[in-house]
Amino acid sequence: MKFFVDTADVKEIRELNDLGLLDGVTTNPSLILKSGRNIAEVTKEICDIVDGPVSAEVTATEYSEMMKEAKVLAKIADNVCIKVPLTLDGLKACKSIRTDLGRQVNVTLCFSATQALLAAKAGASFISPFIGRLDDMGFDGMELIAEIRQIYDNYDFDTEILAASIRTVDHVKRAALIGSDVATVPPATLKALVKHPLTDKGLEQFLADWAKTGQKIG
């Protein structure tokens, strides 16, 4: 499974990238707002840090305006992945961005398997089903991941499933078990994947025993 981090916080991105854990980054208008920075400026800085795709989202809702914004975003860096909403105009833009601009496209705000099917037909590089938001409404977001996985496998679609709106470590585990290609995760959740109380306890015991030997390595 690939790991993308869902943030526009350059400090967090640099830290995780230095650990060798990142395959890409996703941003959205809300994360840009939280960063307090200009979208072109912060996206360029992120693209300079991370080699993988960096999703930058259009804010227009009509096809022609989406395409104008997509061309602007594409000029920021070669690894910008254009993010569009799962609407009819967004799907039309997805196809055009792929064929005319030759850029990867992340189709976002997916909440049903049929939406995901349309995105794959439009040539989406990534489909972003929102797990946490479905859970908030009383549904099991993982069921959607499983449905999309089956449909994509049935027809050998190249579109990668990018599990989004992830809230917990368990979300990541279950998405990986189902076969999601990518998980885009908040920085704190990504760091939490390494944690386990028995790991901490075992390390504490090893260090205590090593201290008793009086030895040093090197």
pLDDT by residue (tens digit) across 21-59? 899 999 999 999 999 999 999 999 999 999 999 999 999
Residue 195 pLDDT: 96
User: C-alpha distances in angstroms, 115 versus 2, 72, 101, 177?
Assistant: 22, 27, 23, 22
* Catalytic residue (one of 2, 83, 121, 216): 83
pLDDT by residue (tens digit) across 163-194? 999 999 999 999 999 999 999 999 999 999 99
What pTM value is reported for the model? 0.95
pLDDT by residue (tens digit) across 106-115? 999 999 999 9
C-beta pairs of 71-77 under 8 Å, 24+ apart in sequence: 71/101, 72/40, 73/43, 74/101, 74/103, 76/40, 76/43, 76/44, 76/47, 77/43, 77/44, 77/47, 77/48
**What's the mean per-residue pLDDT of the chain?**
97
Number of residues assigned to the chain? 218
In the annotation, is 83 catalytic?
Answer: yes
pLDDT by residue (tens digit) across 125-148? 999 999 999 999 999 999 999 999
User: C-alpha distances in angstroms, 113 versus 54, 146, 177, 203?
Assistant: 24, 9, 18, 44
pLDDT by residue (tens digit) across 85-108? 999 999 999 999 999 999 999 999
The percent of residues above 90 in pLDDT, for the chain, comes to 99
Domains of the chain in sequence order: 2-213 (3.20.20.70)
